[in-house]
C-alpha cells in the first residue's frame, strides 16, 4: 500500500565501462543509470561463444583493429579532490546521533500532522483482503503528512489517539502498479497503537562504543574524516578518468561498430530492468518512468542503445591503445584487479568470476591499466597549478 520507493541497485552491472562507471552516460536524467542496473541474476555474464573461444590476444585484436586512434596522450585533466571540512564531519556525526534516537510511546495525545504514529491495518477491496494490505498485528510506523502512503490515507489517521479503531477509505491510483488494485476503492480497518516520541541520543564515548567499532568520539571522528576523504578522492579520480576517456573516444575514428553486439547488450540490459520491475510488482512502463525518468518506451530504448554504443566504442579504443602501446596484463595483475573489484562491490572473488566471462575480466583489468597509462601521460592541471604556485611563493621568499 505504500508508494514504491527508489530501489537499492546492487553490485557491478552487465555493461562495465570506464567512462560510464565514472559518471558519463545519463546526461538527461539524474535518476537511474543503466550501468547500475543489476539484481542477483541481472549482470551475470552471458557467455559470448565467439569471445570465449578465442585467446585474449585475439580478443584485444578483434576490438582494437578497426580503430584509428586520435589524441590519447597529453590530455588535460584535473584530479583535485575536495578536502574534508570540520562541518562535513559534524554532519556525519549528527546523522549517527540521529540514527541512535530512541522513542517513547505516547498513548494519550491526539495524532496530528508531523507525528510518527504506529498503526495496524487490514485492507480490503470489495470486502476481500489483498496481498500486502495487512500488517498482521506487527505494527507499522507512519509519518503523518509525509505522503508515503496513498493519497488521503494519512489525513484520515489524524485526530485519533491510541486504541482508536476506524475505517480509512481510499482509492488506489490508476497506475499503482498492481492490476488487481489499479483504480480500486479500498477500506483499511485501522488501529492506532501509539505516537512515537523521539528521544535524542547524547553524543559521547559511551554512545560511540555501544554503536560503532570505536571506543571514543575522537577515534570515531577520525574514521569519519578518513572515509569522507577516501570518497572525495575517488570522486575526483573518477571525474578525471571520465574526461580522459571521453576525449580519447571522441578523437578516434571507429569503423565497423557491431550493430549485433550493441543490440545484444541492449536486450540484456532491458531484460534485467524488466526482471527488476517484476520483482517489485511494478509494470515496466511505470518503472522506467519513475526510476529512469522516461515516459516513452521508444525513447528509453534509444537511450539504452546509445549507452551500449558508447560502451562498445570505449572497449574498441581501449584495445586499440593497448595494441599501439604494447600494454599487456599478467595473471598477478588480473588477480589483483578481481580482488579489488570484489572489495569495491562487497562480494567475493569467486562471485566476481561467476558474473563475468574470463576474457571480459581480463579486458577490465587491461582497461584499468590503459586508463592508468593515459593518466600518467596526461597533464594534471591541479599538479601544474600547485607547482606554479609553489614556484611563485619560492621566488617571492627569495626576494
Which tens digits make up the pLDDT trace of 355-375?
889 999 999 999 999 999 999
Q: CATH 1.10.3120: does it fit domain 18-83+229-257+294-392?
A: yes
| Residue pLDDT, tens place only, 302-320 | 999 999 999 999 999 999 9
pLDDT above 90 for 389: no
Q: What pLDDT is attached to residue 393?
A: 52
Q: What pLDDT is attached to residue 150?
A: 87
| Residue pLDDT, tens place only, 12-61 | 333 344 333 333 333 433 345 555 443 333 334 444 445 668 999 999 99
**Comparing 191-205, 212-226, 381-395, which segment has the lowest mean pLDDT?**
381-395
Q: What pLDDT is attached to residue 250?
A: 95
**Comparing 143-157, 310-324, 375-389, which segment has the lowest mean pLDDT?**
375-389
Q: Which of 198, 217, 219 is nearest to 208 (CA)?
A: 217
- Residue 365 has a CB neighbour count (10 Å cut-off) of 22
What topology does CATH give the domain 102-199?
Chitinase A; domain 3 (3.10.50)
Q: What pLDDT is attached to residue 332?
A: 97
Most confident residue range from 60-69, 168-177, 337-346: 60-69
Mean pLDDT of 157-171: 95
pLDDT above 60 for 5: no
Q: In angstroms, rounded to a whole number, what is the distance separating the alpha carbons of residues 157 and 110?
A: 10
Q: Which pTM does this prediction carry?
A: 0.69
Burial class for 5, CB neighbours closer than 10 Å (0-12, 13-18, 19+): exposed
Q: Find out whether 89 and 221 touch, Cβ atoms under 8 Å.
A: yes
Q: How confident is the model at residue 384 (pLDDT cuts 50, 70, 90)?
A: low
pLDDT over 70 for what percent of the chain?
83
Q: Where are the beta strands (DSSP E) in the chain?
A: 67-68, 76-77, 102-106, 116-125, 128-134, 140-143, 165-171, 185-199, 253-254, 379-380
Question: Cell 591541479, residue?
Answer: 382
Residue 247: its H or E element: helix 217-250
Q: In angstroms, rounded to a whole number, what is the distance separating the alpha carbons of residues 339 and 331?
A: 12
Average pLDDT, the chain: 85
Q: Find out whether 35 and 20 touch, Cβ atoms under 8 Å.
A: yes
Q: What pLDDT is attached to residue 9?
A: 25
Mean pLDDT of 222-239: 96
Q: Find out whether 242 and 22 touch, Cβ atoms under 8 Å.
A: yes
Q: What pLDDT is attached to residue 110?
A: 97
pLDDT above 80 for 122: yes
Q: In angstroms, rounded to a whole number, what is the distance separating the alpha carbons of residues 355 and 338?
A: 11
Q: In terms of pLDDT, which residue wins out, 165 or 18?
A: 165
Q: In terms of pLDDT, which residue wins out, 124 or 345?
A: 124
Q: Which three cell numbers stand for residue 128?
A: 476481500
Q: Give residue limits of the domains in the chain.
A: 18-83+229-257+294-392, 102-199
Q: What pLDDT is attached to residue 29?
A: 38
Question: Cell 553490485, residue?
Answer: 11
Mean pLDDT of 212-232: 97
Cα–Cα–Cα angle for 9, 14, 20, nearest 5°?
80
Q: In angstroms, rounded to a whole number, what is the distance separating the alpha carbons of residues 248 and 18?
A: 12
Amino acid at each position: 500500500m505504500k508508494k514504491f520507493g527508489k530501489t537499492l541497485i546492487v553490485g557491478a552491472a552487465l555493461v562495465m565501462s570506464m567512462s560510464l562507471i565514472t559518471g558519463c552516460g545519463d546526461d538527461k536524467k539524474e535518476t537511474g543509470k543503466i550501468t547500475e542496473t543489476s539484481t542477483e541474476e541481472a549482470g551475470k555474464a552471458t557467455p559470448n561463444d565467439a569471445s570465449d573461444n578465442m585467446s585474449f590476444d585475439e580478443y584485444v585484436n578483434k576490438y582494437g583493429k578497426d580503430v584509428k586512434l586520435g589524441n590519447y596522450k597529453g590530455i588535460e585533466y584535473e584530479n583535485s579532490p575536495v578536502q574534508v571540512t570540520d562541518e562535513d564531519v559534524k554532519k556525519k556525526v549528527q546523522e549517527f546521533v540521529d540514527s541512535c534516537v530512541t522513542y517513547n510511546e505516547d498513548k494519550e495525545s491526539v495524532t496530528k500532522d508531523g507525528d510518527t504514529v504506529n498503526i495496524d491495518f487490514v485492507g480490503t477491496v470489495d470486502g476481500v483482503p489483498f496481498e500486502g494490505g495487512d500488517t498482521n498485528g506487527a505494527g507499522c510506523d507512519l509519518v503523518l503528512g509525509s505522503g508515503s502512503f496513498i493519497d488521503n490515507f494519512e489525513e484520515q489517521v489524524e485526530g485519533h489517539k491510541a486504541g482508536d479503531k476506524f475505517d480509512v477509505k481510499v482509492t488506489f491510483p490508476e497506475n499503482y502498479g498492481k492490476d488487481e488494485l489499479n483504480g480500486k476503492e479500498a477500506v483499511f480497518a485501522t488501529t492506532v497503537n501509539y505516537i512515537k516520541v523521539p528521544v535524542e541520543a547524547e553524543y559521547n564515548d559511551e554512545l560511540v562504543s555501544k554503536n560503532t567499532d570505536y571506543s571514543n568520539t575522537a577515534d570515531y571522528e577520525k574514521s569519519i574524516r578518513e572515509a569522507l576523504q577516501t570518497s572525495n578522492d575517488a570522486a575526483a579520480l573518477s571525474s578525471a578518468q571520465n574526461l580522459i576517456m571521453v576525449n580519447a573516444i571522441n578523437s578516434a575514428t571507429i569503423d565497423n561498430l557491431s550493430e549485433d553486439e550493441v543490440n545484444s547488450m541492449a536486450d540484456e540490459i532491458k531484460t534485467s530492468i524488466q526482471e527488476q520491475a517484476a520483482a517489485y510488482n511494478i509494470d515496466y512502463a511505470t518503472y522506467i518512468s519513475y526510476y529512469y525518468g522516461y515516459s516513452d518506451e521508444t525513447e528509453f530504448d534509444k537511450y539504452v542503445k546509445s549507452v551500449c554504443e558508447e560502451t562498445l566504442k570505449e572497449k574498441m579504443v581501449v584495445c586499440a591503445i593497448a595494441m599501439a602501446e604494447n600494454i599487456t596484463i599478467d595473471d598477478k595483475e588480473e588477480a589483483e584487479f578481481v580482488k579489488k573489484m570484489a572489495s569495491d562491490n562487497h562480494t567475493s572473488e569467486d562471485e566476481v568470476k561467476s558474473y563475468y566471462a574470463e576474457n571480459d575480466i581480463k579486458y577490465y583489468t587491461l582497461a584499468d591499466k590503459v586508463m592508468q597509462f593515459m593518466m600518467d601521460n596526461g597533464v594534471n592541471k591541479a599538479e601544474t597549478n600547485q607547482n606554479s604556485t609553489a614556484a611563485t611563493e619560492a621566488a617571492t621568499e627569495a626576494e
